[in-house]
């Protein structure tokens, strides 16, 4: 079996607290639920033929256009004015670093593994998410969907990450909290660990590393 040389890790919900925490805080202050947001984005997708979140996360739509369009749809949907200005800042205030896993990733880097973050994210939010952890200290490669124009689970973003790491798929271990993203990694020949908890993830990574 090919030895693991590189670790590819997701950002939100893995190296941070669960992403739902940010949405819950938004719901508490605005009265707009995650379900409302999902319905509104579905309506925009149906109307425009493109999912607004996917457009945002691949850099084809600006944050301003996304929030304005979503606010207009929510206003029509809920029958009251909905403004989403400052959503990103509010969201990240309630997203906290997963310090134990960050420390573990630092230890993997010290053990000589090549380290990468592969994240579906928003161009305008880069300063916000990078401020949550010591990215450049630990991760030599950062692949952000908003800057490369493709997003997980599209195979192309995995290929970009592998190329920048300088490894082939069998030498990489992928960590994400979304099963479909892990499935694509496995189909491409990587090992994959789905994050459910910090202890479980560390245990499964160590088991995978011990196999080689």
What is the CATH superfamily name and number for domain 6-18+96-210?
HAD superfamily/HAD-like (3.40.50.1000)
pLDDT score for 150: 98
CA dist 38 and 102 (Å) reads 30
Which residue from 165, 130, 135 is spatially nearest to 146, judged by alpha carbons? 130
pLDDT score for 154: 98
From first to last of its 212 residues, the chain has per-residue pLDDT tens of 899 999 999 999 999 999 888 888 888 878 889 899 999 999 999 999 999 999 999 999 999 999 999 999 999 999 999 989 888 888 898 899 999 999 999 999 999 999 999 999 999 999 999 999 999 999 999 999 999 999 999 999 999 999 999 999 999 999 999 999 999 999 999 999 999 999 999 999 999 999 86
Q: Specify the 3-state DSSP secondary structure of 76.
A: helix
Buried/exposed code over 115-145 (b: 16+ C-beta within 10 A; e: otherwise): bbbbbbbbbbbbebbbebbebeebbebbbbb
Cα–Cα distance list, 189 to 83, 159, 167, 171, 192 (Å) = 44, 11, 12, 9, 9
pLDDT score for 61: 97
């Amino acid at each position: 079996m090919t030895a693991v040389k590189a670790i590819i890790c997701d950002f939100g919900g893995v190296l941070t607290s669960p992403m739902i925490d940010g949405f819950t805080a938004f719901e508490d202050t605005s009265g707009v639920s995650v379900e409302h947001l999902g319905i509104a984005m579905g309506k925009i997708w149906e109307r425009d033929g493109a999912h607004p979140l996917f457009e945002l996360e691949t850099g084809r739509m600006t944050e301003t256009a996304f929030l304005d369009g979503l606010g207009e749809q929510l206003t029509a949907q809920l029958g009251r004015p909905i403004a989403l200005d400052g959503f990103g800042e509010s969201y990240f205030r309630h997203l906290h670093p997963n310090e134990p896993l960050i420390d573990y990733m630092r230890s993997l880097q010290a053990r000589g593994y090549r380290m990468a973050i592969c994240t579906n994210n928003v161009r305008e939010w880069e300063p916000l998410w990078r401020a949550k952890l010591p990215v450049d200290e630990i991760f030599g490669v950062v692949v952000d969907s908003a800057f490369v124009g493709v997003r997980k689970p599209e195979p192309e973003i995995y290929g970009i990450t592998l190329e920048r790491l300088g490894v082939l798929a069998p030498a990489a271990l992928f960590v994400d909290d979304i099963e479909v993203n892990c499935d694509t990694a496995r189909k491409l020949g990587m090992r994959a660990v789905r994050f459910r908890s910090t202890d479980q993830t560390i245990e499964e990574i160590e088991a995978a590393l011990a196999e080689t």
